[in-house]
Amino acid sequence: MQVPPVYRRWVTCPEPRPKASLRLFCFHFAGGDASIFRLWTTKLPASIEVCPIELPGRATRRTEPPITRFPELLEKLASMVRPFVKPRPFAFFGHSFGGITAFELTRWLRRNGEPLPTRLFLSACPALHIRQQPAPRITHLSDQEFLEEVATRYGTPREVLTSEDVRDTVLPALRADLQVGESYRYQPEPPLDVPISSFGALEDPEVSQEEAAAWRHQTTADFRLRMFPGNHFFLAAERRRLHQAIVEDLQFKA
| CB 50 within 8 Å of CB 44 | yes
Residues 188, 28, 60, 148, CA torsion sign: positive
Structural domain includes residue 15: yes
Structural domain includes residue 31: yes
What's the CATH number where 33 sits? 3.40.50.1820
Structural domain boundaries enclosing 110? 5-133+187-251
What is the predicted pLDDT for the residue at 170? 82
Q: Which of 96, 123, 197, 198 is catalytic?
A: 96
pLDDT over 60 at 36, yes or no: yes
Strands 120-123 and 22-27: unpaired
What is the predicted pLDDT for the residue at 5? 57
- Rounded distance between C-alpha atoms, residue 142 and residue 67, angstroms: 20
Residue 48: phi, psi to the nearest 5? -115, 125
What is the predicted pLDDT for the residue at 50? 95
Helices (H), 63-123: 70-81, 97-111
Structural domain includes residue 220: yes
Number of domains into which the chain is organized: 1
| Lowest-pLDDT range of 10-19, 79-88, 153-162, 164-173 | 153-162
For the segment 119-140, what is each residue's pLDDT rounded down to a tens digit? 999 999 999 899 767 778 888 9
The pLDDT confidence band at residue 6, using thresholds 50, 70 and 90, is low
Round the average pLDDT of the chain to a whole number and report it: 90
Structural domain includes residue 151: no
Structural domain includes residue 204: yes
Among this protein's residues, is 183 annotated catalytic? no
Structural domain includes residue 138: no
What is the predicted pLDDT for the residue at 40? 94
Give percent of the chain above pLDDT 90.
Answer: 67
- pTM reported for the whole predicted model: 0.92
What is the predicted pLDDT for the residue at 8? 80
Structural domain includes residue 155: no
Structural domain includes residue 154: no
| Rounded mean pLDDT, 177-200 | 95
What is the predicted pLDDT for the residue at 3? 53
Q: Which residue has the higher pLDDT, 165 or 130?
A: 130
What is the predicted pLDDT for the residue at 157? 67
pLDDT over 80 at 162, yes or no: no
| CB 154 within 8 Å of CB 124 | no
Phi/psi class of residue 221: alpha, beta or left (left: φ > 0; alpha: ψ in -120 to 50)? Answer: beta
- Rounded distance between C-alpha atoms, residue 120 and residue 175, angstroms: 26
For the segment 8-34, what is each residue's pLDDT rounded down to a tens digit? 889 999 899 989 999 999 999 998 999
What is the predicted pLDDT for the residue at 2? 53
What is the predicted pLDDT for the residue at 253? 43
What is the predicted pLDDT for the residue at 79? 94
For the segment 191-241, what is each residue's pLDDT rounded down to a tens digit? 999 999 999 999 998 899 999 999 999 999 999 999 999 999 899 899 999
